Amino acid sequence: MTEPAQIFTLFGVDGYPFGLCVAIAVLLATGLLCLLWKNRGHSPAMGLRFTLYAIPLTLLFARLGYVAVRLRFLAVDYVPGFWYRLPLGGYSLAGGFVGLMLAGWLFARISGQCTAKVLDLAAPAALLVLACIRLAEAFTLDGVGLYVENEALWHFPFAVANPYGEYVLPVFFYEAVVAVLLCLVALRSLRSGRLQTGDVARTATLLLGLTQILLESLRADDYLRFGFVRVNQLWGALLAGYVLAVWLRRFQPTRARRGITVAVYLLCIGVMIAVEFGRDKSTIPNEILYAAMALALLVIGIISVALRSARARGSQV
């Protein structure tokens, strides 16, 4: 972890390692999109056209999301005009997700495509960009967790040294690895063709939301929050709940099964809330608390994927 350092100036614009990594990530994702559209029997230019919607809308809503959360502090803690001065940084993953969804819908409407199909193809590319962004946090002071006190773990990937010589959890690396794995899952799902249209994006959304709940809990940097509520954790729970609700509605199980599923989801959310409070206010070791959170997330994932499978079987009858 290092302080952000300028590496070049081009046409009066200062370049930093983080921004360079993001630019490379966008180029790679654009190439992947063109390839995916080509494999679906369309012109590769369709993938390039989609990025013309996705890049500005994702950037805009990521910024708006950050500003919305930090609005109370902008006038006091930030320079004048911060909200429109993009090089100063400050973006929200949840806001960027909304922008990407809007881009998919708008592109589908204008190009005459199916929105669900567009989002299925966009999912792997978006996860690739997210993985690169997380890795790029190594060039900043963000993406880190609590101090690692055990000297035996003072080496990567268990810890990294910050500019003060203290060893902290490299959460940015864990998030990057998860994003890469989710990207591979989405690509494999597209290649297999076994999932219904829209379920590739929904599965990626579900898994991203669930993993964000755990990974965000590990962060100890300048994360976004409403009071003591971490924005990405709340967003992750909403994403998982949304996907679960969609599959519940599409599968249309019995009222009893629907009630049990919702009750299990709410119980798991309750466990995760209890874990967050317990980390600071109980004597239970964090290892046990995080194991309970991981188990709750696993249960939500299992019941959601089971609903998706049941829905797919039902559609084939």
Checking DSSP bridges between strand 225-226 and strand 8-10, what pairing results, if any? unpaired
Q: Which residues, including other chains, have CB under 8 Å from residue 118's CB and lie 6 or more apart? A: 50, 104, 107, 108
Q: Which residues, including other chains, have CB under 8 Å from residue 10's CB and lie 6 or more apart? A: none
**CA–CA dist 275, 193 (Å, integer):** 38
**CA–CA dist 173, 170 (Å, integer):** 6
**CA–CA dist 96, 195 (Å, integer):** 25
Contact by Cβ (8 Å): 192, 203: no
Q: Which residues, including other chains, have CB under 8 Å from residue 35's CB and lie 6 or more apart? A: 44, 47
Q: Is the peptide bond before 56 cis (omega within 30 degrees of 0)?
A: no
**CA–CA dist 176, 192 (Å, integer):** 24
| CA 261, chain centre distance (Å) | 24
Taking the model in full, what pTM does it have?
0.91
**pLDDT per residue of the chain (317 residues) written in tens, 0 to 9:** 666 677 777 776 777 788 889 999 999 999 999 999 999 888 999 999 999 999 999 999 999 998 888 887 776 667 677 777 777 778 899 999 999 999 999 999 999 999 999 999 999 999 999 999 999 998 888 899 989 988 999 999 999 998 888 999 999 999 999 999 999 999 999 998 888 999 999 999 999 999 999 999 999 888 888 878 899 999 999 999 999 999 998 877 788 888 999 999 999 999 999 998 888 788 888 889 999 999 999 999 999 999 988 866 655 43
